[in-house]
């Protein structure tokens, strides 16, 4: 089994393989998975430093593994104007909901209560498979060291 516990600067290495993970798995500090080329992989991370799409992991044997996002069930709510969009972002954020925010759209894990809230504000909801890469929050940025 390949073992990875170190992140490296992704602009300086050539990638040997990749691992495709959903959002909930990327949040874990101990992950048992399989690379996209079929190798067993154990990931051992420092607590409080989740994986981000695009991170590069270095294995004990020196291979570089890129983290990719796995499409998963999500709700994407679409607004037609910035006023409505800003209001729904406020209300969803006030519920401490994990959100991915785009231009006039907001994505979250499927939740019928959140869907109803968005519909109440006039947003249209699309239930589909997509890569979920939410905002990390003001206190958990992607500014960790890659060295």
37-49 per-position pLDDT tens digit:
999 999 998 887 8
Distance CA 19, CA 37 (A): 8
Q: Is pLDDT at 147 greater than 60 in this prediction?
A: no
**Tens-place pLDDT, residues 104-137:** 999 999 999 999 999 999 999 999 999 999 987 6
* Residue range 66-84, pLDDT digits in tens: 999 999 999 999 999 999 9
């Amino acid at each position: 089994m390949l073992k990875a516990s170190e992140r490296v600067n992704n602009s300086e290495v050539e990638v040997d393989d990749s691992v495709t993970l959903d959002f909930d798995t990327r949040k874990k500090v101990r992950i048992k998975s399989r690379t996209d080329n079929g190798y067993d992989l154990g990931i051992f991370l420092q607590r409080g430093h989740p994986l981000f799409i695009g991170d590069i992991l270095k294995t004990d044997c020196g291979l570089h593994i890129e983290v990719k996002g796995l499409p998963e069930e999500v709700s994407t709510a679409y607004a037609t104007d910035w006023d409505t969009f800003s209001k729904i972002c406020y209300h969803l954020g006030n519920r401490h909901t994990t959100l991915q925010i785009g231009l006039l759209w907001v994505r979250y894990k499927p939740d019928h209560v959140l869907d109803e809230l968005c519909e109440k504000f006039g947003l249209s909801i699309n239930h589909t498979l997509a890569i979920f890469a939410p905002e990390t929050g003001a206190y958990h940025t992607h500014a960790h060291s890659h060295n």
